[in-house]
Structure 1
Amino acid sequence: MAKFSVRPAVPEDIPAILKFILDLAIYEKSQESAKATPELLHTALFSDQPTAHVLMATLDDTTPVGFALYFYNFSTWIGRPGIYLEDLYVSPEHRNLGVGKALFTKLGEIAEEKNCGRIDWSVLKWNAPSIAFYETTLGATRMEEWVGMRLEGDESIHRLRTLK
């Protein structure tokens, strides 16, 4: 039986990470929104001050089968750091084998090491298999009272500088 493991990503993982991002965008029916490039990922993940981190799930320590991209935030309400899970993806042929659970287990270890008080993420409303996994296996709760907000793109962000 094949064995998978979870480890922090290294720069050589960038092609696999990019492929998973594109596969996830296709799965979420928004492939036109995926703009990541190898250069952008390298800067975000492996610069002197990385803005995000990736966990890689690999089969037999060689073949990438999934990933989790996350970054740290801070909750003023609980007075502790947290983790925001931006993306989690497991290749279709490796789903229901415990890969997603292993990625979350490692994320939980990291959260405990960093004294994080919570882990947040979003899931599309129509993604029933993922929602069931999050609620049943992980014990996650829906945040029904919150509405997600976003400013996206250089123009939207620049507009903030000119508010009066």
Structure 2
Amino acid sequence: MSGVTIRDARPDDLDTIIAFIRALADYERLAHEAKADRDMLARHLFGPRPMAEVLIADHEGAAVGFALFFHNFSTFEGRPGIYLEDLFVRPEARGLGAGRALLARLATLAIERDCARLEWSVLDWNAPAIAFYRAIGGRAMDEWTVQRLDGEALVALSSSANPRR
């Protein structure tokens, strides 16, 4: 893995994390959906109750990639899992092994934390990423489809709930 090191992100990495998120959003043609800002990320990544964690891949003193992840829980397994929300390596750094190193570190964390699985989603048009995931042993969960509730639909459902007593 040719000089690539993986480390936990620190609060002073916030600008780098934001840059990675924006670059990923551009790559995925979703820049219009990228709303995260420095204050949000500081609170949710490094605040009193962190909701996610970030790994940074460094090569020759420069951050070249990141992985943002959090824990989920499998009721069937009775154990936690790790959900990889974002994985991104700068185009000029691809081929150095940074993506594989980030995933290997996540696999190690999953084992150390007694997780049953490591999961992620990939856009169906992203053939290079899909090929990479297959090469490391990833498999598609074709029988499952992702569902999402956000925006006005999320607010509408919330407002229909009975108030807590």
TM-score by length of 1: 0.94
> Is 2:105 the counterpart of 1:106?
yes
Q: Distance in 1 between matches of 2:93 and 2:28?
A: 18
Q: Paired residue for 2:76?
A: 77
Secondary structure, aligned partner of 1:82: strand
1:145 counterpart residue number: 143
Q: Deviations over 1:79-118 (max 9, x none)?
A: 1100110000000011011100000011011101110000
CA distance in 2, matches of 1:157, 1:8: 33
Partner of 1:131: 130
Specify the code of the residue in structure 1 equivalent to 2:36.
Answer: A
Partner residue of 1:52? 52
Give the SS at the match of 2:123: coil
Q: For the residues of structure 2 that align with 1:66 and 1:74, how far apart are their CA atoms?
A: 26
- Unpaired runs of at least 5, structure 1: none
Runs of at least 5 residues in structure 2 that lack an aligned partner in the other structure: none
Report what 1:163 is aligned to.
160
How far apart, in 2, do the equivalents of 1:41 and 1:9 lie? 12
Displacement of 1:57: 0.4
The aligned length equals 160
Structure 2 matches for 1:89-104, cutoff 5 A?
89-104=88-103
Q: Distance in 1 between matches of 2:118 and 2:26?
A: 25
Determine the C-alpha separation between the residues in 1 that align with 2:66 and 2:73: 23
C-alpha distance in 1, partners of 2:19/2:44? 16
Structure 1 distance, partners of 2:64, 2:23, is 12
Matched, 1:18 2:15: no
SS in 2 for 1:126: coil
Please tell me the root mean square deviation across aligned C-alpha atoms, in Å.
Answer: 1.2
Cα deviation, residue 157, structure 1: 2.3
Aligned partner of 2:35 in structure 1 is 35
Q: CA deviation at 1:48?
A: 1.5
Give the counterpart letter for 1:146 in structure 2.
W
> Could you tell me which amino acid in structure 2 is paired with residue 160 of structure 1?
L
Percent of aligned positions with the same letter in both sequences? 48
String of CA shifts for 1:9-63, please: whole Å, max 9, x gaps. 0001000100010000000011000001000110110011100000000113x31
